[in-house]
Amino acid sequence: MGEWFAKDANRLDEFRQFLTKYPYCKELRDGIAKFSSTTLTDQVFYRARRIRSGKSICSPTSYLLIQRNIR
């Protein structure tokens, strides 16, 4: 089957054993695949991240609003 199988055969076997031990995981995966999907348009999303510098984390719009309120 190739180099990838030789490299990952143990992991595949572990995963098969996991699904055998916890069969509801497969049911969950199959159930999630049946959910209808929704496309969000014209949205702005933010996510948390670690701050590695003292630099502010703001969107350009938020930054302008903050600057206007400071003056």
pLDDT in tens, 17-66: 888 888 888 788 888 889 888 888 888 888 777 767 666 666 666 656 66
- Contact of 53 with 38, CB cutoff 8 Å: no
Model pTM score: 0.35
